Structure 1
Amino acid sequence: MGVPSVMVLPLLVVFAAGIYYIYNEVIQFMSKSLVRNKVVVITDAVSGVGTECAHLFHKAGARLILCGATWDKLESLYDSLITDSDPRETFAPKLVILDFSDMDSMEDVVAEVMDCYGYVDVLICNSSVKLKAPIQSVSLEMDRNIMDINYFGPSTLTKGVLPAMMSRRSGHVILVNSIQGRLAVPFRSSYAASKHAAQAFFDCLRAEVEEYGILVSTISHTFINAAEPPPAVKTAPKQNLFAKYISSQLSHGVRPSVLANEILQTVNRKRKEVMLAHPIPRVALYLRSLFPPFLFSVLAAGVKDSVLGEQMQ
């Protein structure tokens, strides 16, 4: 007895959904198996994204080196990882105090990281600090601090673990950057500058170390949204509607758990570039390259209306 024609489409949908579910489960299993026994360094493990990464990689059997500026938070994270895991399938994480705003300590930090296992398989540079302010109000000291944390710190640590990677002819360096490493928006001058610098450094590094079997990946995302979306606020009717629309799209951030999972998938799939952004920011990137005067006009109009200045993250 044949299947009624009206049932064909629902059955196809169910079948496709089943295949998709199985595919995702296989990918998740492969991701975890590929990082088992790997030495993984997370530079800001006590942040939202860092904590999510720590849990994912720890459950997958990685040998974690967790870095952070606060010892109490590192110990708290350590306790939560040990409590929620099977000691027969996981390794106890090692903890290292790391503060990129103190560049004088970087030599000792690199030595401590390398002393843990003697080498690093995966380095995840996810430390970052943001600043929202008009250019004229940002001091030189603040500029330097942001550059230390967002650029000089990650690049210095990478240089420190690089010799061992080169001698072993393997390794993976991941920069968790920002879409503002490619697209600058108003009131983010120091932040965007540091992200542009980091993007350029790791792009150069990718080409220079490829012959040693070392992979360099950059993940560009919109702002990290760790909170629930705020309630809608009524705005003045005379605001620039197009600029308002762009700002509303750019304000749709990525959840820490989503970004952490993307980092794990990047290790698995060995992707060199990942973009986590909604369509409007992607379109803005194309406009920056193909029609820059138009984009500049839109951004300037947004500043005049105080829409982008208040809402862009």
Structure 2
Amino acid sequence: MSVFTQKVIWITGASSGIGEAIALELSRNANEAHPIKLVLSARRADELERVARQTGLPAANVLVLPMDVTDFGAFSAHVERVRQHFGRIDYLFLNAGISQRSTVAETDFSVYQRLMDVNFFGTIALTKAVLPLMLAQRSGHLVVTSSVAGKLGVKYRSGYCASKHALHGFYDALRAETHSAGLHVTIVCPGYIRTPISLQALNATGQVHGKMDANQEKGMAPDVFTRRLLKAVSRKKEEVYIGGPETFGIYLKRFLPGLLSRILRNREGA
């Protein structure tokens, strides 16, 4: 974990789930000899303050920066605030996102727009705002949370799948463009991780799903996931799949696509 020492690490979606777990795991490994500086962003300021307290880091080493990832016009000001506070940005963990539980036939088009705004456009807009600073530093590491659903098409998640698929194309291109400038991009595809993502998923009309999926409830603990993620990031892995047996679907898609198609179309439940 020494690669994160003295680094400024900005985490979006930091008020819960994977984002919160990343903040806590990084702080767990920090001490006077290996300090870190965190920027915590999400919409809920009170929850960000809670996470900031739980990190146990000195107040000077944590910047709570409430942010709506669909307020694209505010990103330049947010980046400037981080720059003024800490002087640089070394890691940007892009975790903010929402899921979906509805069929294509039933889903309002506005739901697809919301999913793309949060999961795709918000992510690339913040990246675009941070990029000039990282290019000027000639260093920086973007860590993008996709999903196993970013590699497959899964029932009841058409918009979620589309938004996550789009991330791969954008960040693969960005990686190629900025490698010679000293930047790195890691795309992580979680499987079932025990987070509130299904509770907060959108239904066909854009309302909150409000139910915990059985697979999510039995999923990998966030702290276990996060330790594996941070190890991959420290090794500058380009793409990593973390979860249970569901991650094998990515390999089936590559080598036995017909078999995977039969499995997915016969799969019941959301």
Give 3-state SS (helix, strand or coil) of 2:130's partner: helix
TM-score by length of 2: 0.83
Number of the residue aligned with 1:72: 46
User: Could you report, residue by residue, the CA deviation over 1:152-209 in whole angstroms, capped at 9, with x for unpaired residues?
Assistant: 1111111111111112211111012101111111111000000001121111111111
| Equivalent in 149, 161, 171 of residue 118 of structure 2 | 149
Given that 1:114 and 1:161 are in contact with CA atoms closer than 8 Å, whether structure 2 keeps it comes out as: no
1:280-291 to 2 correspondence within 5 Å?
280-282=246-248, 284-291=249-256
Q: Which amino acid aligns with 2:240?
A: V
Change (3 A) 1:206 1:251: farther
Between the aligned partners of 1:169 and 1:105, the Cα distance in structure 2 is 24
Give 3-state SS (helix, strand or coil) of 2:251's partner: helix
Is 1:195 the counterpart of 2:164 in the alignment?
A: yes
1:14-163 to 2 correspondence within 5 Å?
31=1, 33-59=2-28, 60=30, 61-81=35-55, 84-85=56-57, 87=58, 91-163=60-132
User: Could you report, residue by residue, the CA deviation over 1:37-82 in whole angstroms, capped at 9, with x for unpaired residues?
Assistant: 101000111112222211222342211111110111112222233x
Q: Which amino acid aligns with 1:46?
A: S
Aligned residues: 249
| Equivalent in 148, 163, 184 of residue 153 of structure 2 | 184
Q: What is the CA distance between 1:219 and its match in structure 2?
A: 0.9
Q: Which segment is superposed worse, 292-301 or 142-151? A: 292-301
Is 1:267 the counterpart of 2:233 in the alignment?
A: yes
Instruction: Note the residue ranges of structure 2 that are not aligned, 5 or more in a row.
Output: 197-212
Between the aligned partners of 1:224 and 1:184, the Cα distance in structure 2 is 18
Q: How high is the sequence identity, in percent, across the aligned residues?
A: 31
Between the aligned partners of 1:289 and 1:34, the Cα distance in structure 2 is 33
Number of the residue aligned with 1:297: 262
The higher relative CO (CA closer than 8 Å, separation ≥ 6) is in 2
Given that 2:22 and 2:226 are in contact with CA atoms closer than 8 Å, whether structure 1 keeps it comes out as: yes
Instruction: Say which structure is richer in helix.
Output: 1
Change (3 A) 1:78 1:133: same
The structure number with the bigger radius of gyration is 1
Given that 1:178 and 1:223 are in contact with CA atoms closer than 8 Å, whether structure 2 keeps it comes out as: no
Change (3 A) 1:268 1:298: closer
Q: Which amino acid aligns with 2:116?
A: M
TM-score by length of 1: 0.73
User: Could you report, residue by residue, the CA deviation over 1:85-104 in whole angstroms, capped at 9, with x for unpaired residues?
Assistant: 5x4xx853011111113334
Q: Which amino acid aligns with 1:79?
A: R
Given that 2:11 and 2:93 are in contact with CA atoms closer than 8 Å, whether structure 1 keeps it comes out as: yes
